[in-house]
Amino acid sequence: MVAAMSAPEKVEDILGQEAEDLLTYQAKVPKETLHLPGADWVDRIFSITDRSPQVLRSLQQLYSHGRLANTGYLSILPVDQGIEHSAAASFAPNPIYFDSENIVKLAIAAECNAVATTLGVLGSVSRKYAHKIPFIVKLNHNELLTAPNQFDQIMFASVEQAWNLGAVAVGATIYFGSPESTRQIQEVSRAFARAHELGMATILWCYLRNSAFKQDGTDYHISADLTGQANHIGVTIEADIIKQKLPENNGATQP
């Protein structure tokens, strides 16, 4: 017997109450103005900037490695949980990752474009793996031992240390909107400038942190206007690549 097939659901039924808004939405930005990823991403976007040939080469290394090579997209394995969230909480379910080499092995097995982690992790295996997968040294972290806990990214490593172990890029986090954000912006700006001098690319973890961004049950940490402004500041200090949490609402700056 052949079971009767149910009638396919209409798109409107799947989208429910949001159907009209989503299906009739008209973008305010013309699609022709978008810079879409592609194999020529470094040539098209970065080659006209003030980046040196060494920085362009480092960026091309990132975009030319792994299963997403030469697509304009990146898949980076970031592992700094040992500091940000405590190693026990992060690695206890898979104890093999207490061994720093296994973090790099995982990135290679997954065919990532690069692995981003702490100075200690990458420094412990640099001679064995720096030529096998691009290294990204995360320069600052929010350490978890201070009581009470505080949201503050502090420098754990120098740009020179990252360069010496063979890193292709350095990364850093700024908590925009936090009481410490002014200092963090200045520290990261100086670090990124130095990284560019040494020929390395720069990656910014671009996050918002301020209790005032939560109002009347809405979390504006993920508001398009605030995250967009944070991204703009990140570009201003010449972050080559920016990681952000995708926005889920808008209008935080409206009166």
Catalytic residue IDs:
243
| CB atoms inside a 10 Å sphere around CB 201 | 31
Q: Decide: 225 and 252 in contact? Cβ < 8 Å.
A: yes
Q: Outline where DSSP puts E strands in 72-162.
A: 76-79, 114-117, 135-138, 140-141, 154-155
Q: What does the block give as tokens for 85?
A: 């969230």
How does strand 114-117 pair with strand 154-155? unpaired
- Is the preceding peptide bond at 148 cis, omega within 30 degrees of 0? yes
Side-chain half-sphere exposure of 240, counting CA atoms within 13 A: 33
Q: Are the CB atoms for 70 and 46 separated by under 8 Å?
A: no
